[in-house]
Amino acid sequence: MIIDWIILLLMALFTYLIVRRSVTGVTTTPVWLLWLVLMMPPFVWSLWILVYSAKQLPPIELLIGMSILSIFFYLKLHQKGRKNLTPTQKEPSPAVESLPVKEVASPPLPLRPIDKTEETKLKNCFPWSIFYVNNIEYRPQAIICRGQLREKSPSQAYDRIKENVRLEFGDRFLVLFQEDMTGKPFFALVPNTQAAANKRKNDKLTRPGLALGLLIATIYTTTLVGVGIANTNNIEALRSNPEILLSGLPYGISLMTILGIHELGHYLTARYYKIRATLPYFIPFPLFLGTFGAFIQMRSPVPNRKALFDVSIAGPLAGFVVTLPLLIWGLAHSTVVSLPEKAEQVLNPNALDPNYSLLLALLSKLTLGIQLSADSGIDLHPVAVAGLLGAIATALNLIPVGQLDGGHIIHAMFGQRNGIAIGQISRFLILGLALLQPGFWIWAIILFFMPVADEPALNDISELDNKRDILGILAMALLVIIILPMPEQLAQLLN
C-alpha cells in the first residue's frame, strides 16, 4: 500500500511538470486546474482501493467513464483559456512552438530582429532557383520566410540556404525548415541565444562525477530490490549477514545493463551526429523496481529527420538486443508452477502467466518446452524478472506518442503532422488495450498527459530512405508482439 501511494505521488508530480511545460503561454487556464482534471482517474482509483482494498478492482465502466470525462474537461478548459489570450499572446507557428523554451525565450527578443539592410541580405540568402521567397513574417520568436520550394531535393535546399545564412549572419540564427498546417514548406530563422553559452559550458556538459555517483547509487538500490526478488526472507536477514546482498546482484546487474545499454545507444548516436548530449543519468529508488530508469539530455537541436530517427531508435534496439538473451537465459533457469486460481497482481514474478505477452509466451515455450501447459505459470529467475522489465521498458518507449522514442520514430518516418495524428490514435488504442491488460491502465492515462507533438528537427522536410522506413516498421512490430497478449487459438496450438 505504501508503494502504491509513493507511485501515485510521483505520477502526480510528473503529470504536473508535463502540464506546466505544455500549457505555459498557450492557455490562460491555471495549470493546477488542468492538472487536477487530468488526475481524476488515478485519484478515483486510489480512493476506491482505500475504501474497498486492492483485492477488489474498480469496475471497468467507472475507469473508462472517468478517463473520458477527464480528457473532455481538460480539452474544454484548455480551449477556453486559449480564447482568452490577448492579441499579443497569439499562438506561434508550429515551428516556433515546438522548440524548447530554453532555446528561444531568453533573453526577450525584439519583434523585428533585423533591420532593412539586413532584410535585403536575408532575401539574397534564398536563390530563386532553390526557394523563391514570397513573404517574410516577423514573429517575437522567429523570422518566417514563406515561398515556393524549387529545388527537387529538400536536403540540398536546406544545406544551401543554411550555408548562405551562416555566411551572412554567422551563428546568429538557427535555420529551421518546416511544414505549415497545409503541408507547404517554409524556413524559420530563430535567434541562437545559446550559441555563446554553449561554448562556455562545453566542459561542464557531461558532469561525469554526477553520472558516476547516480550509477553507483542505482546499482545498490536495484541490488537491494533484487535480494527481495531472489528470496523475500533474505531482506530480514540482510542486517545480520550483509553477504546476502550478493543474491540481489543477478537482478541488479541485469537490469542496470539493459537500461545502461539503452541510454548508451542514444548517447553514442547523438555524439555521432555531433548533437551535444549529457552522459546517461540513472534514477535510484530503494523500493519498487530499484530505479525509475535513466535518461540523457540533448542540449542542441537535432539536424534532420534522419538523425532524429537514428538517435531515437538506437536506444530501444540496443536495449532489446541485450534484453533478449538475458530473458531467454532467465526463463531457462526459471521454474514452472501452477497458476493461482485468482491472480494477486498483474505481473506476479512468483507465478507469471506467460500469455500476458505474445513475445513472452513464445520465448517461454521455446525455453521450457513441454513443461509449460495452459494452466502453468512461471516462477521467474531474478535475471528473467530483469529481462521482462527490459522488454516492457522497450515497448513503453516505442509507443508512438509525443516525446517517447516511438513518437520521435513516427515523426521521422511520416513528418510531424502525421506523427501527431498517429500519436492521438495510439493513445486510444493503448486505452483499449488496457481493457485486456489491466497493467496498462496507469500508462494509458499518463499518455493523455503527454503532448503529442515533439520537437522538430532543424530540417524537418527531408524524408527517410527505405531502409530506415523498414526498420521503423519492424520497431512498431516489436512493440505489438510485446504488448499484445497471446491469442487463445495460438496458445491452444502451442499447448
Its domain, for residue 424, covers 301-494
Comparing CA positions, the residue from 403, 408, 446 lying closest to residue 427 is 446
One domain for residues 330 and 415 = yes
Question: What pLDDT does residue 88 have?
Answer: 42
- The tally of domains found in the chain comes to 3
Question: What pLDDT does residue 97 have?
Answer: 40
8 belongs to a structural domain:
yes
Domain boundary among 54, 89, 124: 89
pLDDT at 232 exceeding the cut of 70 = no
One domain for residues 490 and 393 = yes
pLDDT at 467 exceeding the cut of 60 = yes
| pLDDT tier for residue 182 given thresholds of 50, 70 and 90 | confident
pLDDT at 53 exceeding the cut of 70 = no
Domain boundary among 30, 54, 89: 89
pLDDT at 95 exceeding the cut of 60 = no
Q: Report CA-CA distances (Å) from 218 to 150, 215, 291.
A: 53, 5, 6
Q: Which of 72-76, 470-474, 481-485 has the lowest mean pLDDT?
A: 72-76
444 belongs to a structural domain:
yes
pLDDT at 58 exceeding the cut of 70 = no
One domain for residues 84 and 115 = no
Comparison of pLDDT for 283 and 243, the residue scoring more: 283
Question: What pLDDT does residue 478 have?
Answer: 94
Comparing CA positions, the residue from 338, 393, 335 lying closest to residue 367 is 335
Question: What pLDDT does residue 13 have?
Answer: 67
Comparison of pLDDT for 349 and 463, the residue scoring more: 463
CB distance 256 to 219 below 8 Å: yes
What does pLDDT average to over the chain? 79
Question: What pLDDT does residue 245 have?
Answer: 77
Across the range 196-204, mean pLDDT stands at 53
pLDDT at 258 exceeding the cut of 90 = yes
CATH number at residue 176: 3.30.1360
One domain for residues 382 and 433 = yes
Question: What pLDDT does residue 90 have?
Answer: 41
Instruction: Kindly write down the DSSP assignment for every residue of 362-391, as one continuous string.
Output: HHHHHHHGGG--TTEEEE--HHHHHHHHHH
Q: What is the pLDDT of residues 349-397, one digit of tens each?
A: 777 888 888 898 889 888 888 777 777 888 888 999 999 999 989 998 9
343 belongs to a structural domain:
yes
Query: What single-letter amino acid sits at 196?
Result: A
One domain for residues 447 and 328 = yes
263 belongs to a structural domain:
no
Domain boundary among 89, 111, 136: 89
CB distance 133 to 145 below 8 Å: yes
Measured distance CA(209)–CA(221) in Å, rounded: 19
User: C-alpha angle with apex 243: 238 to 248, nearest 5 degrees?
Assistant: 75
One domain for residues 329 and 464 = yes
Question: What pLDDT does residue 234 have?
Answer: 56
pLDDT at 93 exceeding the cut of 60 = no
| pLDDT tier for residue 198 given thresholds of 50, 70 and 90 | low
* Residue 164 zone, left/alpha/beta (φ > 0; ψ -120 to 50; rest): alpha
Q: Give the strand pairing for 173-179 and 376-379.
A: unpaired
| pLDDT tier for residue 1 given thresholds of 50, 70 and 90 | very low
Question: What pLDDT does residue 92 have?
Answer: 42
Question: What pLDDT does residue 400 have?
Answer: 92
284 belongs to a structural domain:
no
Q: Give the strand pairing for 281-284 and 185-191.
A: unpaired
CB distance 163 to 157 below 8 Å: no
Q: Which of 130-144, 297-311, 334-348 has the lowest mean pLDDT?
A: 334-348
One domain for residues 165 and 37 = no
pLDDT at 409 exceeding the cut of 90 = yes
| pLDDT tier for residue 433 given thresholds of 50, 70 and 90 | confident
- Gap between the terminal Cα atoms of the chain: 37
* φ, ψ (nearest 5 deg) of residue 266: -65, -45
CB distance 459 to 158 below 8 Å: yes
CB distance 415 to 408 below 8 Å: no
Q: Which of 79-93, 128-142, 254-268 has the lowest mean pLDDT?
A: 79-93
Measured distance CA(486)–CA(488) in Å, rounded: 6
281 belongs to a structural domain:
no
255 belongs to a structural domain:
no
Measured distance CA(190)–CA(134) in Å, rounded: 19
Measured distance CA(405)–CA(293) in Å, rounded: 14
% of the chain residues with pLDDT over 70: 76
One domain for residues 354 and 475 = yes
One domain for residues 151 and 34 = no
242 belongs to a structural domain:
no
Residue 54 has a CB neighbour count (10 Å cut-off) of 12
One domain for residues 51 and 115 = no
One domain for residues 128 and 72 = no
Q: What is the pLDDT of residues 108-159, one digit of tens each?
A: 444 556 777 788 888 889 999 999 988 888 887 788 999 999 888 899 999 9
One domain for residues 166 and 74 = no
- Angle at which helices 40-52 and 31-38 pack, to 10 degrees? 50
